[in-house]
Amino acid sequence: MIVASASALLRELVEEDVCEFERVEHPGETAIVTPKARPPEASSPRRVAAEPSGPVPWTDGQPTLEDVRAHLGDCQRCDLCEGRRQIVFGDGDPNADLMFVGEGPGEHEDRQGLPFVGRAGELLTQMIEKGIGIPRREVYICNIVKCRPPRNRNPLPPEVSACRPFLDGQIRAVAPKVIVTLGKPAASLLLDREIAITRMRGTWHDYQGIPLMPTLHPAYVLRQYTPQNRRAVWQDLQAAFERART
């Protein structure tokens, strides 16, 4: 009995400290192209206006997603701009009831300019479409940081801080009924404390008056592809969907 609970605790610690902290390259994904290997125009597309300076203009009101994207501009606010192909802003229904927040773009997202389009994204899409039974386009999906961290490492505190006003702007713009955070970093950021994701997932929290449900990151579920983990996420998404419907 003691051995069983000790090994469960150990497993939980290992999962939290190793698996959830560390973002690993997904199998089959190619290594990051270093900034120096890229032509400058590929790493810095000039499709949007240069980065506007000054504080964000939506601290009190409700911006539109276009306002937030325009203010982000061709962002150079942190070092992640040096390695990105493009900014990965967000995807989905601007009026969604359900909003998903992940950690940061990976290789596929950086190439396509859309969040969650790699292997983890395929699983997330399946969870949304088969698990809760709504088309992915009916939810809104974004990340803590909008540019790919080198080698898919965790975003660093200055990078997270630089991007924070834009995540907050997206949340204000979409004004979802429920936020689902994917993995430990997104939940810890929005709840403003280090959380243990395997303990906290499946429980309700609050982000500025919006119910928040932390669940496991789909990349973690892919690595630990157990019936328990799949059931856990399915339950969390069901709970989030039910709450968003009321």
Residues that bind ligand URA (CB under 6 A): 102-106, 109, 115-116, 118, 120-121, 143, 219
| Residue given tokens 């989905």 in the structure block | 92
Q: How far is the CB of 238 from ligand URA (least distance, A)?
A: 21
Identity of the residue, 221 or 240, whose beta carbon is nearer to ligand URA in the bound complex: 221
**Nearest distance from residue 157's CB to ligand URA, in Å?**
17
Closer Cβ to ligand URA, 105 or 131, answer by number: 105
Minimum CB distance to ligand URA, residue 86 (Å): 13
Residue with smallest beta-carbon separation from ligand URA:
102
For ligand URA, the closer of residues 92 and 104 by Cβ is 104
The nearest distance, CB 209 to ligand URA, in angstroms, is 25
Q: Which is nearer to ligand URA, 62 or 161 (CB)?
A: 161
* Residue 183 C-beta: closest distance to ligand URA, Å: 7
Q: Which is nearer to ligand URA, 103 or 168 (CB)?
A: 103
Least Å distance between CB 104 and ligand URA?
6
Q: How far is CA 142 from the centre of its chain?
A: 5
Q: Is 116 or 207 the residue whose CB approaches ligand URA more closely?
A: 116
